[in-house]
A and B are shown apart, each in its own frame.
Chain A
Amino acid sequence: MTAFARRHDRVMVGALAVLCVVAFWELSGRNGWVNPLFTSYPSQVLREGIELMSSPRFPEHARASFLEFAYGFVLGILVGLPLGLILGRFRRLNLIFEPLIMALYVTPRLALLPIIIVWLGIGLYSKVAVVFLGAVFPILINVLTGIKLVDPLWLRAARSYGASELDLFTKVMLPGSLPYIFLGVRLGLGRALLGVIVAEMYVSTVGIGHLIMQAGEIMRTGRLMFLAILVSLLGTALTLGLRSVEGHVIRWGRASDRG
């Protein structure tokens, strides 16, 4: 038993800490040490969560958020990936566009939210645009970086064995920059998720973000906490899923996380 405990002490200590916090949270809410209106408590969070998820309107909200996320994120990949490859390949184009892209990258892109609403309305399209803007830049910039960092030795070697431009591109540059492409997609995923929630919280009539804002406005702290936990679990699940795909696709190295 002690050997087992020692080997798994990371998990054990972590689980114990979580358990302690949850227990304390429950007690503080139930015994009125803290007003449950401010912090709720776990059993209330669970109860309100079940109540919310079994309500007939919930699937509609979930579906709206999912569609906004999926359209925007796929669009981000479809634009960011080819654009990054092109800009990484042609130096002059890159010199012209990189400062622009960097300017947009360091800008809080969610500051564009008000004008996007003016342009595209408060429905699906504005949300898709916000998700797209969140996802596309990390993808674009990391693809660009990946292409630039492909070892020139590999290129020279491939060329000296008579590889054509196309071969060079599909057989050396693309696989060579794959770790960065995945990193970009992973970072883009987080931004896209934030985009959905923020855009829906800002102005919307449907969606998880809308539910979060609503729960806050009517001070249903338990429901609010439940939704926050739900979104976090979703984000974690998506990230882990992507990591496992990544692990299967590339075995020769992973770019380290940044920002």
Chain B
Amino acid sequence: MMLRYIALKRLFLRSQNLIYGFLGFVMVLVAWDLLTRTGLVDPFFISSPGRTWNALLDEVGRGTMMKDLAATAGSFGAGLAIAIVIGVPLALLTAWFKYIEYVVDPFFWFLYNVPKLAFYPLFIIWLGLGTPTIVALTALFAVFPIFANTFTGVREVNPLFLIAARSFGAHQWQLFARVVLPAAAPVILAGVRLGIGRGMVGVIIAEMFGATAGLGFRMNYSASLLRTSEYFAPLVVVVALGLLIDQLLRVVERKVGRWNQT
């Protein structure tokens, strides 16, 4: 009896974070449900958990959810790929060559401080209304954390590693490929995680502003028709995706970073 109690207690302690966290979500759902059930707030404005669930099932059933997900995922994937392909090499060059840094620096700071959406009308003029603009905006949102982290990662490589490698006769290229890049990998990966978060913001906003499919489009469309349940359904999907991707990347980060405590 005693032993079982101790075992239970240990189980509780170990999963305490999960239990409390779960409790928080349940509390919000219950409060949301009660607000509408008691008639304190008209579900017209805030929907309700049940209505949102039904709207979600409905959108899945009609196939619009898959269509929206595919559109958002496509734009997001393309934007992120562009951001990585541009951001990582540029940051590596910038961190490695002093003069490139001096040249890139002012432009980087200028662009870093602009609310990126200010470029949206410009992209519309350049690329037209539609997917290319959405992809471009996603890339623009995602590229900055990726660039900044890659730069920092290369700059903060332990100088002892460099001295050691050099004293064993490593060339510039070997130094770069064998020492700097692996040492900076965890920080670069953290940048990609941040970039994914920013890229999600970019893709959703861009779709809200002008698209014909996608989760952001669906939210904008439903809200402008005052169909709150149909607005909340894609929002729930966006939140769930955000959490899922974030957790997934944290696991990957831990795996990559294990041998190198930075």
Contact = CB atoms under 8 A, between A and B. Distances in A.
Interface residues of A, number: 60
A17 B121 contact: no
Interface residues of B, number: 60
A196 to B, nearest CB: 8
Q: B-side binding surface: helix, strand, loop or mixed?
A: helix
Contacts of A228: 114, 118-119, 122
Given A108-B242, A221-B125, A216 B120 contact: yes
Interface in B180-217: 194, 197-198, 200-201, 204-205, 208-209, 216
A143 interface: no
A231 interface: yes
A108 B204 contact: yes
Given A95-B20, A107-B238, A108-B205, A118 B125 contact: no
Contact of B118 (A9, A103, A106, A231): A231
Contacts of B110: 229, 232, 236
B113 A96 contact: no
B116 interface: yes
A97 B24 contact: yes
B110 to A, nearest CB: 6
A235 B110 CA distance: 9
B30 interface: no
Given A117-B223, A259-B145, A212 B121 contact: yes
A114 B209 CA distance: 11
A119 interface: yes
A259 B197 contact: yes
**Across the A-B interface, the 10 shortest Cβ-Cβ residue pairs:** A216-B121, A114-B223, A99-B21, A95-B20, A13-B102, A235-B113, A108-B201, A232-B114, A17-B103, A197-B115
14 contacts: A13-B102, A95-B17, A100-B25, A103-B242, A107-B238, A107-B239, A108-B205, A117-B223, A118-B226, A216-B120, A224-B121, A228-B114, A229-B110, A257-B148
